[in-house]
Amino acid sequence: MKQLLSFNQPVLQGSIRVPGDKSISHRSIMFGAIAKGKTVITGFLKGDDCLSTIDCFRKMGVTIEEHEETIIVHGVGFEGLKEPQDILDVGNSGTTTRLLLGILSGRPFHSVVIGDHSIASRPMKRVTEPLSRMGATIDGRHNGQYTPLSIRGGELTPITYELPHASAQLKSAILFAGLQAEGTTRIIEPEKTRDHTEFMIKQFGGTIDREGNEIIVQGGQQLHGQSIDVPGDISSAAFFLAAGAIVKGSRVSLKHVGVNPTRAGIIEVLEQMGGSLQIDGIPSKGEPIANLTVEYGKLTSTEIGGALIPRLIDEIPIIALLATQAEGTTTIKNAEELKVKETNRIDAVVEELSKLGANIQATNDGMIIQGPTELHGGKVNSRGDHRIGMMLAVAALLIKEEVEIEGIESISVSYPGFFKDLNSILSKQ
Ligand code: S3P
């Protein structure tokens, strides 16, 4: 689906409560299902990806009630999950695929996991290899590399596993398997990645330890249903943080945003670039939350790499746009994981922003951007990737001419109300 965007000297003023965190929403359904008793979730993200997770667990016999404001999961425990009669369709969701594999690897039944065109090209061996080592039988296209995957879970033995990639999805898959194995599973991360799974094990009454970069979990723990309040997704807020920072005259507040330090790299980058950002913490019993207020101002270039990358991996497309408006050369490195996201995000960002006049080059593990540049109108494509679609829509705010975005429907994967929220803070200079 095409969308024609044409903004005439827009200004963004006002506040938005962005939808619930995608990573936490997925996990709240999964933990709700493998815990015993009722889990009540507020702030759940009703985007396509998280709805796929609900669908998969329903197919395994879990009752999940969807209400206007809440989702209620009637947990059955790991042992209560049933062999699905139909294939488990994860849609576009890599998080559903990989975390689900960790859960299925310990279940004594057969299942088949399938997803869309993009999922079919995302690497799964990184997950199926350690899970097979623990005792699951998994096969798939190209020697178990790609979906469709078939899994027969089994009795799992714990492992000590050094992650070859700084990936929270991989870590979480092994944690879900470790919870079902008899004994102690140890995972060593090359860099710290988002720790929502670890946080939730504790929220649901379990224990998990961390010693430096090593995470230690015991199998056989009984988890209990909880009330979970999902904070706003900082990865969705990032689009409005960037828009507020680069659209002249803007001031935007994002309410109730999750600011877990393992996710909040975008805040550090905005500060490094000289952006005007106010962070007002809100007391929380769960994950850390804050109201964030950003104002338009002059930005300078920065360097992004190393341990910062996993803390902002999903924000790199919008950070690249920020860099086109910053004075100097911004370098993003150590981000080769971008090549295996919903699309190859190095190519997608560089090629699509170039069509709008950005001065941007791809490198092997990131990109180099010169700014500031005045962007111009053109025809661009989300390539079926929600974050590329939203980044291009924010780019259009800077452009006097028309911008035509192909594949705009992909935005519903993580932010179905994106344009409604954008319109709510849009006025003219
Ligand atoms: C996620 C982890 C990240 C991130 C993805 C969500 C998660 O992926 O890019 O959008 O919820 O664990 P990787 O684990 O592949 O880095």
| Top CATH class, 22-218 | alpha beta
195, 314, 385, 421: which one is catalytic? 314
Model pTM score? 0.98
Q: What integer pLDDT is reported at residue 339 of this predicted model?
A: 97
> How far is the centre of ligand 1, averaged over its atoms, from the C-alpha of 198 (Å)?
14
In this structure, which topology does domain 2-20+231-428 adopt according to CATH?
Answer: UDP-n-acetylglucosamine1-carboxyvinyl-transferase; Chain (3.65.10)
Decide: 25 in ligand 1 pocket, CB within 6 A.
no
Locate the DSSP E strands across 25-167. Answer: 36-42, 63-66, 70-76, 88-89, 110-114, 137-140, 146-152, 160-162
Asked, as a colleague might, if the bond just before 372 is cis with ω within 30 of 0, I would say: yes
Alpha-carbon span 73 to 205, nearest angstrom: 16
Residue 8: its pLDDT value, please?
85
User: What number does the ligand 1 atom closest to the CA of 235 have?
Assistant: 10
Distance from the CA of 287 to the center of ligand 1, in angstroms?
Answer: 17
In angstroms, what is the span from residue 23 Cα to ligand 1's centroid?
A: 8
Name the token pair of 384.
Answer: 């079926």
Backbone Cα Rg of the chain: 21
Task: Supply the DSSP symbol for 410.
Answer: G
Does ligand 1 lie within 6 Å of residue 168's CB atom?
A: yes
What are the pLDDT tens digits along the chain (429 aa)?
Answer: 999 999 988 999 999 999 999 999 999 999 999 999 999 999 999 999 999 999 999 999 999 999 999 999 999 999 999 999 999 999 999 999 999 999 999 999 999 999 999 999 999 999 999 999 999 999 999 998 999 999 999 999 999 999 999 999 999 999 999 999 999 999 999 999 999 999 999 999 999 999 999 999 999 999 999 999 999 999 999 999 999 999 999 999 999 999 999 999 999 999 999 999 999 999 999 999 999 999 999 999 999 999 999 999 999 999 999 999 999 999 999 999 999 999 999 999 999 999 999 999 999 999 999 999 999 999 999 999 999 999 999 999 999 999 999 999 999 999 999 999 999 999 876
Give the integer Cα–Cα distance in Å for 356 and 337: 25
* Contact between residue 166 and residue 157 where contact means Cβ atoms under 8 Å apart: no
Q: How far is the CA of 95 from the centre of ligand 1 (A)?
A: 6
Q: 2-20+231-428 with 22-218: one CATH topology?
A: yes
Q: Closest by alpha carbon to 311, among 283, 346, 272, 269? A: 269
CA distance 361 to 421: 32
Mutate which of 27, 98, 167 for ligand 1? The one with the most ligand atoms within 8 Å of its CB, which is 167
User: Which residue lies with its CA nearest to atom 11 of ligand 1?
Assistant: 23
- Annotated active-site residue 314? The verdict is yes
State the Cα–Cα distance between residues 19 and 286, nearest whole angstrom.
Answer: 17
- For position 429, what pLDDT does the model report? 67
Residue ranges of domains in the chain: 2-20+231-428, 22-218
| Ligand 1 atom index nearest CA of 340 | 15
Alpha carbon distance 357, 254 (integer Å) = 29
383, amino acid identity: R
